Structure 1
């Protein structure tokens, strides 16, 4: 019976193995395999051996499986590494979001139901003059 913690470790190990293998494979294609760690170089050599025996897809799956089992043990998984089902890679039919035009900006006209009543500048100035004069008159 597989515990939930071991299954979590298995998923993490599988994800890491797939990502690392893709990175290592790309580095090898770009002639950067010598800069990879020794462990990665060992897995790439085993992948090259597997390529001579089987198709590229099968060799890739076998190499990822080897890396996965290594990572599972390294991460503290107990016992035999459980098989983790890969997500089916189906063809994506539509992953594009349709463009929607933003709503037109609101006009800033004074007329309309949502318009704030505005005080004219002259009225505000007149009120300030009245307040200032009132303070001067009452403070004398």
Structure 2
């Protein structure tokens, strides 16, 4: 829970797309993702551990699929942020507002309503904030 609170704070303080935040969002939504390390023999480690050391951009799913994956640009792309929202809250409805330089996103789901606001006029960041609040509530209801 505190990790999500910290990520919400980081996301609320950025002034544009940030790849590190994209990776941390991906880790929050897909905790079983791992990075493929080039050792002999190759081994797989949790992406979270690798990201903090070398900011690797390429991911490989932890089930040892050989294809490389990239972390989507969640903080830059409405499409990427919405795909993440649909993963976290399947069947959710999203209301987006971009008015007077402030972007807002509301995710409506049977689990509740989750809000995100971006003062820098970024719909992707607003969507990502609402996603993190949904994950935070899911985590607290599971405890």
Shorter-chain TM-score above 0.5: no
TM-score, scaled relative to structure 2: 0.26
Q: Over alpha carbons, which structure has the higher Rg?
A: 1
Which fold has the larger relative contact order, with Cα–Cα distance below 8 Å and residues 6 or more apart in sequence? 1
TM-score, scaled relative to structure 1: 0.27
